[in-house]
Structure 1
Amino acid sequence: MIGSMGMASSIGLGIALSKPSRKTIVLEGDGNLLMNLGSLPMTGSLQPGNLLHIVLDNEVYASTGNQPTISNVIELEEIAKSAKYAYVKRVTTNEDLKREVIHTLKSEGPSFLLVKISDNAEQIGIGRVTHSPEQIKERFMSAISGKR
């Protein structure tokens, strides 16, 4: 949910609770999560077993110019543990990421994966989102309604 100012995890929690028979995956950056840390204890308290929460941690707010976040001095995965996520892991390699995603998709959650990544997205050719906010909304609404 680009531009959601920290609400990706809250939106994902709502979807996980409303569709308990489907696995819900939240993918967000460290900057996004830091804007709404309250979503972690809320998720932990509600224990949605179908939720996988993946945080890509590059230690910057990439979408607004690479200003540093504070994820270099705090351990977001420790906050998730304290919030009572059922499974929490820090991932630093592609192999570990693949293994952990496979594991968490088969396991009861909520699960939290912190994936440490570099902050050089532009240098390695990862572009910006090309969809308009309206297109993103329409795709999202279609996906959660099962029309996709």
Structure 2
Amino acid sequence: LKKPLSRMDRMEKWFMKKPKRSLIDFALPDHNEPSHYLLFLRAQIRGWNGAEQTSLEGEVNITLTHTGTIELNSLHNMIIEVRLNDEEGQLPEIACRFSLDRKRERLIIQTEEDLEKGGQYLLQIFYRTSPDLRMRGAYESW
């Protein structure tokens, strides 16, 4: 007799259907050494179940030691603004621009001036996203 799949087995089967990618595809270069993260989320839920009308806005503050270019993992996020300052906030904001590498799921931040290697910086990323509707439901954590 064939035993029915548990909920966890069904979820694992769904994940395994996705094309296999090497972990190297997601490994970040070691140009930055994050030392502290702060994450802020603001949810806008409209309608009864809200799934199709829900959006999330957030801000991530990352304190990092700079050793090269800045690359972070980012998937399904609309980046609104990126700000870079020295950790103490005493110098003017450092001019930077960003681009997204969708294939490698990366947010790449380029500064218009060279940063001091080993310097401490505060990176602020403002973004908007929506929940992944395929993943909605109740979750267990252990």
Structure number with greater Rg is 2
Task: Give the structure-1-normalised TM-score.
Answer: 0.25
Higher share in strand: 2
Higher relative CO (Cα under 8 Å, sequence separation at least 6) belongs to 2
